[in-house]
A and B are shown apart, each in its own frame.
Chain A
Amino acid sequence: MDRIVAFNPKSVRTAKSRLGVMLSRPIILLLNVIAIGLLFSGLGLLVLSNMPVGWLLIGLCAIPIMISEWHRGELKSPKSIEGTVDGLLAGDILGSLDKNPTPKDIAVAAVKAQGGIFFANRFGITRGFLDNITTDQPTDSEAIWQSALVVRKESGSEFISGAVLVVAIIDSFSDRDSLLAHMKLDRTDLLSGIGWYEHVRMLINKSKRPLRTGGIARDFAFGYIPLLKRFGQNLSENVGRGTQIELEAHQKALDQLIDSFGGGGSQNAALIGAAGVGKTTIVQAFAQRLMDAEAKVPSSLKFRQVFMLDSASLISAAPGRGELEKLILQVLGEAQRAKNIIICLDNAQMFFEEDIGSVDLSNVLLPILESDSLRIILTMDEQRFLQIGQRNAALINALNRINIAPASHEETLVVMQDQLLYVEFKRHVTVMYQALAEAYRLSERYIHDLEMPGRAFKLLESAAGFAENGFVTGNSVQQAIEQTVGVKIGVAKGEEERDTLLNLEDLIHERMINQTRAVQVVSDALRRARAGVRNENRPIGTFLFLGPTGVGKTELSKALGEVYFGGEDRMIRLDMNEYVRSEDVARLIADGADDPNSLTARAMKQPFSVVLLDEIEKAHPQVLTTLLQLLDEGILRDIKNREVSFRDSIVIATSNAGADRIREYIQRGYKMKDFEKQFTDELISSNQFKPEFLNRFDEIVIFRPLNKPELLQVVDLILAGINKQMALQKISINVADDAKEFLVEKGYDPRLGARPMRRVVQRAVENLVAKQMLGGEVQPGTVIDITIEQVKSILNDGEDVS
Chain B
Amino acid sequence: MVMLLITSLFRWWYSDGFSERLQITSVRLESMIDYFSFSLLLKTLFSPYRQISAGNVDGSLEVKMRASLDRLFSRVIGAVIRLIIMTVGAFVAGVLVLYSVVGIIVWGLLPFLPIVGVAAMMMGWTPGWIE
Contact = CB atoms under 8 A, between A and B. Distances in A.
Contact of A15 (B1, B44, B48, B117): B1
Given A66-B13, A215-B34, A216-B37, A47 B110 contact: no
Contact of A47 (B4, B13, B49, B130): B130
Interface string A284-307: 000000000100000000010000
B54 A16 contact: no
Given A15-B5, A46-B126, A337-B51, A62 B114 contact: yes
Contact of A217 (B85, B122, B130): B85
Contacts of B27: 209
Given A60-B114, A73-B17, A222-B51, A215 B35 contact: yes
B16 A74 contact: yes
B54 A223 contact: yes
Contacts of B4: 12, 15
B51 A56 contact: no
A51 B51 contact: no
A217 B37 contact: yes
Interface string B28-57: 001100111100110010011111101100
Contacts of A56: 117-118, 120-121
A58 interface: yes
Interface residues of B, number: 51
A216 B35 contact: yes
A74 B20 CA distance: 11
Contacts of A74: 12, 16-17
A182 interface: no
A40 B51 CA distance: 55
B99 to A, nearest CB: 18
B81 interface: yes
A138 interface: no
A15 B3 CA distance: 11
A65 B36 CA distance: 33
Nearest to B34: A212
B124 interface: yes
A4 interface: no
Contact of A218 (B40, B118, B125): B40
Interface string A331-350: 00000011100000000000
B108 interface: no
Nearest to A224: B50
B17 A220 contact: no
A389 interface: no
B8 interface: yes
A55 interface: yes
Interface string A24-64: 00000000000000000010001100111111111111110
B116 A337 contact: no
A221 B117 contact: no
B54 to A, nearest CB: 7
Contact of B131 (A16, A50, A214, A337): A50
Nearest to B2: A15
A507 interface: no
Interface in A175-217: 209-210, 212-217
A59 B17 contact: no
A435 to B, nearest CB: 38
Contacts of B35: 215-216
Contact of B130 (A12, A46, A219, A223): A46
A293 B35 CA distance: 11
A19 interface: yes
Given A52-B126, A66-B111, A222-B51, A59 B120 contact: yes
Contacts of B121: 52-56, 59
A60 B52 CA distance: 61
A12 B36 CA distance: 46
Contacts of A210: 31
Contacts of A54: 121, 126
Contacts of B8: 12, 16
A70 interface: yes
Contacts of A337: 51, 54-55
A510 interface: no
A221 B44 contact: yes
B95 interface: no
Contacts of B16: 73-74, 79
A69 interface: yes
Contacts of A70: 9, 12-13, 17
B126 A221 contact: no
Contacts of B71: none
Given A60-B114, A212-B31, A222-B50, A16 B5 contact: yes
A212 B50 contact: no
Contacts of B36: 215-217
Contacts of B13: 66, 69-70
Contact of A55 (B48, B82, B110, B120): B120
Interface residues of A, number: 49
Nearest to A46: B126
A380 B17 CA distance: 52
Interface string B67-95: 00000000000100110010000000000
A335 to B, nearest CB: 12
Contacts of B20: 73
Contacts of B12: 70, 73-74
A52 B17 contact: no
Contacts of A58: 113, 117
Kindly name the residue among A51, A59, A67 whose own CB sees the greatest number of chain B CB atoms within 10 A: A59
Contact of A60 (B1, B40, B85, B117): B117
Contacts of A218: 37, 40
Nearest to B5: A15
Given A59-B118, A215-B37, A220 B82 contact: yes
Given A74-B17, A220-B78, A62 B111 contact: yes
A58 B127 CA distance: 14
Q: For B37, B130, B131, which residue has the most chain A Cβ atoms within 10 angstroms?
A: B37
Contacts of A223: 50-52, 54
Nearest to A13: B8
A293 B131 CA distance: 55
Contact of A338 (B51, B81, B117): B51
Given A52-B124, A215-B40, A221-B78, A66 B110 contact: yes
A52 B31 contact: no
Interface in A741-767: none
B105 interface: no
A293 B114 contact: no
Contacts of B49: 220-221
B91 to A, nearest CB: 15
Most chain A beta-carbon contacts within 10 A, residue among B30, B36, B51: B51
B118 to A, nearest CB: 6
A212 B117 contact: no
B115 interface: yes
Nearest to A211: B34
Nearest to B10: A66
Contacts of A65: 110
Nearest to B33: A215
B7 to A, nearest CB: 9
16 contacts: A53-B121, A55-B117, A61-B113, A62-B114, A65-B110, A66-B13, A67-B9, A73-B17, A73-B20, A212-B34, A216-B37, A217-B82, A217-B85, A218-B37, A220-B41, A220-B44
Interface of B: 1, 4-5, 8-9, 12-13, 16-17, 20, 27, 30-31, 34-37, 40-41, 44, 47-52, 54-55, 78, 81-82, 85, 110-111, 113-127, 130-131
Given A50-B126, A209-B27, A217-B82, 17 more contacts: A15-B1, A15-B4, A46-B127, A55-B118, A57-B117, A59-B114, A62-B114, A69-B13, A70-B9, A70-B13, A73-B17, A217-B85, A220-B37, A220-B82, A223-B54, A303-B40, A338-B51
10 smallest CB-CB distances across A and B, nearest first, come from: A59-B117, A223-B51, A55-B120, A215-B37, A62-B113, A217-B37, A212-B34, A221-B44, A221-B47, A59-B114
